[in-house]
Chain A
Amino acid sequence: MNASAKVLLRGSSLLALIVALQSTVVASVDDAQSFALQAAEPYVKEGFQVREDYWGGDLGSGEKKAVRQQLFKGNEYWFWLGTEVERAKISVHIYDSDGKLAEEPDGWEKGHFAAAHVIPKTTGSYFVIVNVEESPEERTHWALVYGFR
């Protein structure tokens, strides 16, 4: 192989790597959202309307994020958390505006999915705490969706 062909090959390999890395970065929160929606799917049959809007981002292992959500007494809510990182362990929990745990005991965590259930006792702001407990990746993408009925 001549020198210019080697340069071209190296250049195109580098370009392919950059494109692949970029698409991984861009796709990850969307992938995480797909997993969160997958976790929500069975609940749609039970009458939950899943919102199109969602939160997303990335966290290091052991890091947490709080999101604030207005909830209405009379409604029932599920929050579903997903990540594309298969061996990650994630969790989601809900606290009221006084910082008291407000969720029902039937929340669950399974691999790269987690869910929390809340039937608000009062109308107001609640805090949803998202946690990447363990992950083999340096940064783990996450997405949180919610549904109500």
Chain B
Amino acid sequence: MTPFTKYLKLSTIAAGGLTLCVHGAQIPQRIDIKQLSKTVEDVVVPLPNEIFGALNKLGTVNWKEHVRSDKGTNFTERPRIALLLGTVIADGFIAVQAEDAPTVKEIGQRVLALAKGIGVGNSITPHAKAIIEAADKRNWDSVRQELDRTQNSVQQAMNEVHDEKLSQLVSLGGWLRGTEVLTSVVSKHFSADGAELLHQPDLLSYFQARLQAMPEFNLPILREIGDALLQVKPLIDVGNARIPRESVKKINDITTRLGSGIVTRD
């Protein structure tokens, strides 16, 4: 029996007599997280629009000022293409927030070109077409869904050919771009609730571990990202304390610099 299973059995017994809920069974009101450490699956990296949705609920955001339609450099190194692909998909979510149909369509084409550059174009073609069609109809929910499908298909295609590391770089690129925009918005209209959206220490540790496991990708931008994550970690890993305005600004400076590095040649 694994320690976790053992613990849960014990906790189920210990929790006897606790409140019944609509599940019709007694649910332990508390579990020991330390016992979970060996049985926890990897995190699913949130989509940028999960964060943007939460940000929207805090007040009106001028998404148009964050739209980026710069096509960026054409890279030949696959890790660089993967990083860029992640940021371009995130740019797609930003353009959807701004309801900017022409940019969404450009991004659909750009995603397809990058996916081809990395050898997974076939799995993306139908999604790129669907993104463009949905943008023409200004059906934003469909565009969001197709962007999610695009990222998922790219990553599945990469995983199938054992390019999991490239797949992780797609996620990292998207997360960095999402964090850049989040910190930009919160820096301009600071609120404690907005800053709290940066409280993602486990996600950051996840990316750090993944980067450390790719020594074969000997690229300056990846080393720069690794160093930057080290700087960001103490700024967001604050436990129950609040993340101050200065930290938000620092993270914005760091992610803006990285964002620029991802789209331009070294």
Contacts and interface: CB of A to CB of B under 8 A. Distances in A.
Interface of A: 49, 51-55, 57, 62-70, 72-75, 91, 93, 95, 97-101, 105-109, 114, 122-125, 127, 129, 131, 133, 146, 148-149
Contacts of A108: 22-23
The DSSP consensus for interface residues of chain A is strand
B5 A53 contact: no
A108 to B, nearest CB: 6
Interface residues on B, range: 35 or more
Interface stretch (B27-35, B75-83, B117-125, B216-224): B27-35
A70 B33 contact: no
B203 A66 contact: no
Contacts of B49: 49
Interface of B: 4-5, 8, 21-25, 27-33, 36, 39-47, 49-51, 53-55, 57-58, 141, 144-145, 148-149, 151-152, 155, 193, 196-203
B152 A66 contact: no
Contact of B193 (A54, A73, A124, A148): A73
Contacts of A124: 199-202
A95 B25 CA distance: 16
Contacts of A129: 8, 31
For the complex of A and B, 10 pairs with smallest distance between CB atoms: A74-B54, A52-B152, A72-B54, A125-B202, A67-B41, A74-B57, A99-B33, A99-B31, A123-B199, A66-B36
Nearest to B199: A123
A114 B23 CA distance: 9
B8 A122 contact: no
19 contacts: A67-B44, A72-B51, A72-B53, A73-B197, A74-B57, A74-B197, A93-B27, A99-B33, A105-B22, A109-B23, A122-B196, A124-B199, A125-B43, A125-B201, A127-B31, A127-B33, A127-B40, A129-B8, A129-B31
Nearest to A89: B25
A148 B53 CA distance: 9
Contacts of B54: 72-75, 123
A66 B22 contact: no
Given A52-B149, A73-B196, A108-B22, A68 B53 contact: no
A127 B50 CA distance: 18
A64 B50 contact: no
Given A74-B193, A100-B29, A122 B199 contact: yes
